[in-house]
Chains A and B, each alone.
Chain A
Amino acid sequence: MDAAPTTPGPTSTAETGRWLVVVDTDDVDVRHREVPEMLAAEGLSVVGYYPRLGVAVVERDDDRLEGLRLRCRQRRRPLTLLPERTYQALDRPGDAADSTAPADPPFADTAEHTWGLQAVRAVASAATGAGVKVAVLDTGFAVDHPDFRDHQITAESFIDGEGPEDGHGHGTHCIGTACGPRTAGTVRGYGVAPEAEIFAGKVLGADGGGSDASILAGLDWALQQECAVISMSLGSDVREVHPPYVAAGRRALEQGSLIVAAAGNNASRSAGDPGFVGAPANSPFVLAVGAVDAELGIADFSARTLPRRGGQVDVAAPGVEIFSSWAGEQRHRTISGTSMATPHVAGVAALLAESTGLRGRALWAAIVQEAVRLDLPSLDVGSGLTVVPPVEQLAEAPAEEPAEDPAT
């Protein structure tokens, strides 16, 4: 980004001289009855009042607005006062630009951060995933990896005859992207949510193989551990929606857990084959993740939407040449796949879960809503590139104090 994020100040936009009164409450009775009564009691000149929004436009009167402010404070009503501004249609490209505009691709790994961390805007995020439990169901985890000395890790195996250690490397790579260090010291930082609590469920053996039985057992464990995010960089190239994953995805959302899964690597776009989203990502209640490269183009292998309910790619994330942790002496490795895109979304979900408190379906909605739209078919990237917005843009709690004192 070449311009520092700024909030337009009062002088940067034309003001009308009138004020907006915002009472941000879910209490219908307050919005429909109490607010208009308070406005009348203060003697404010009301230009318009919209009870469904809890918003009034009033003529400026500093004394009466101050009276309203005191009255709302006494009654513990969440009041915000703002000067009304004028708006124009955004008919020039420059007008649409704001602090949420993405940094320009192509991205590249730097000495400090992977291109993926930059693209999903984790680098500058004040959120870290602290207090959020993230499960990664995969080939296990190299729990002795030096980059994870300070992490809280729970590891469990659902593969007969194998412990939770990672005999493959894939699981350690995915966990690194979701929950690894954002600044790693000797290597570039690669983890989106470095303070999330890690739950490593081994559902694929050292040979990379598993089954619905091991995956669903791991999923059940993650639900029992109350993980807010469950990341599954796995799947089978079958078009049929598998009923257990429909039920599991729905039940997870009902319990406040969001399952994200890899769309699949069965495309070969350069050869004219766009592939299709397989199971479990094609469940309607599992968030399916496609992969983009550092130029934010669709990855050659990234599967396209399957034309049936639930078969869509929901969102895209960095998945080409992704640097992360690896099992064994190698310690780190750069590989590609929708498997690598998926934990980027899991990490972003953890950051959003931390900063907004949202869970389940609401967290799903926030991820899709906050994604940056790409100039690519939605069949390939869903709602676009997953990103974490600045924490200050996510404030859930309504302000109790006026945003600006009208008396000054």
Chain B
Amino acid sequence: MRSLQINWYSLLKRAFLWSIFLGLGLYAAWPWLPGVGAKHPRAIVVYGFSILGEVMNQGIFPAFQAEWLARSGEKIEFVSSFSGSGTITNQIILGVPAQVAILSLELDALRLVDNHVLAGPTWHDLPYEGVLNRTPFIILVRSDNPKGIASFADLAQPGVEVVHPDPLTSGGAQWAILAEYGSVTLNGGSPEEAYAQLLGIWRNVVAQASSARAARTQFENGFGDALITYEQEAVWDLGRGKLNALIVYPESTILGEHTVVMIDKNISPAERDLVEAFVEFLWSETAQRIFVEYGFRSVDETLNAANPNFGVIAKPFTVKDLGGWVNARDEIINAIWKQKVLPEVGR
């Protein structure tokens, strides 16, 4: 009698355990079970730098999918990954199967050439020499701006806490360094003054994140008084009424230009038509309007009026004004930031 009871109990328990495991397994394997999942459609693999996540996933991808469906009757899929521009560049060098990469800065594209991922500066053959859109670098401060920050110079004042993305992995961080430095030298300041400003800002950096987006999350979680970031980050939230901070437009700042590269060795002949159509679509008016809606400044300046939240920058400059990316990297990022500022702040 007693043994019978125990048997029932352990049998029940065992059935329960097995049903948990079988249930989990069934749930996990469901889309791949024969007869359930539809055949896998063709896919485009896109790697993009951090702040592109929303505009691509919610705007550009669905728009292209709809257009392609209307054009060819084929349903396609996007497979994507978004993180710091340097991170995705390193991943591509290591061999991730990216077909299209949207990098924050041309420098990362050049690194792909140096590492034999690309045969040469192939992006120059694309529209606008591969530049997809632009966004200036701005300062984000707490809503009431308690420290009265109005310029990059103010960020160098003692006692200001700055959140900065990490230049090792973030493209935005490299743009930010050029903005911090170039805003002095291109407006009549001496290299010494520019160095002093850069050093002052970096003394105040309290947190570094792997990407501009991650730095933004840190700032939102309460770190620091100011964040140097893409205007897009702030304008996009401003448009949705979700911005819990204040945008400070420096009198002079850099216009970041974002580069599209096609990674030919990862594009099979069967996929080429699709990938090329997608890249072409990126410069279409439809796509550029979506970028403007999400806070990027279009390469077609006439479209930018559509977003009322873009601020005014008195004296914008581009990396060309600093002698191009190779020059800017060697003379500003490497020679000054890496070799002088970093040792000085002890990082």
A interacts with B: no
Using a CB–CB cutoff of 8 Å, the interface residues on chain A facing chain B are none
Using a CB–CB cutoff of 8 Å, the interface residues on chain B facing chain A are none
